[in-house]
Amino acid sequence: MDDQQNLYAQDTVTRLVNLYEATFGTTFHRYFDAFPLTPPGKDDYPLVAVQQIHTKAIIGPTSTDDVPETIVTEVMINAADDAGSQNVRTATMRHLQNLVQGQDPVTFDYLPNTFLYCLRTHLTLLQSSGSIWLIDSDVDIKYDITQPKDMPLIALAEITLTTQRRVIVPGRT
- Whether 57 has a pLDDT exceeding 60, the answer reads yes
Number of structural domains the chain divides into: 1
Output 104 or 42, whichever has higher pLDDT: 104
- Is residue 137 a part of any domain in this protein? yes
pLDDT of residue 158: 97
- Is residue 104 a part of any domain in this protein? yes
Cα dihedral: 90, 91, 92, 96 (round 10)? -50
**What does the pLDDT look like over 66-121, one tens digit per residue?**
899 999 999 999 887 766 666 655 588 888 999 999 999 999 999 999 999 999 98
How large is the average pLDDT for residues 51-56? 95
Distance of CA 155 to the CA centre of its chain: 16
pLDDT of residue 152: 79
Where residue 51 falls among pLDDT bands split at 50, 70, 90?
very high
CATH number at residue 64: 3.30.70.1700
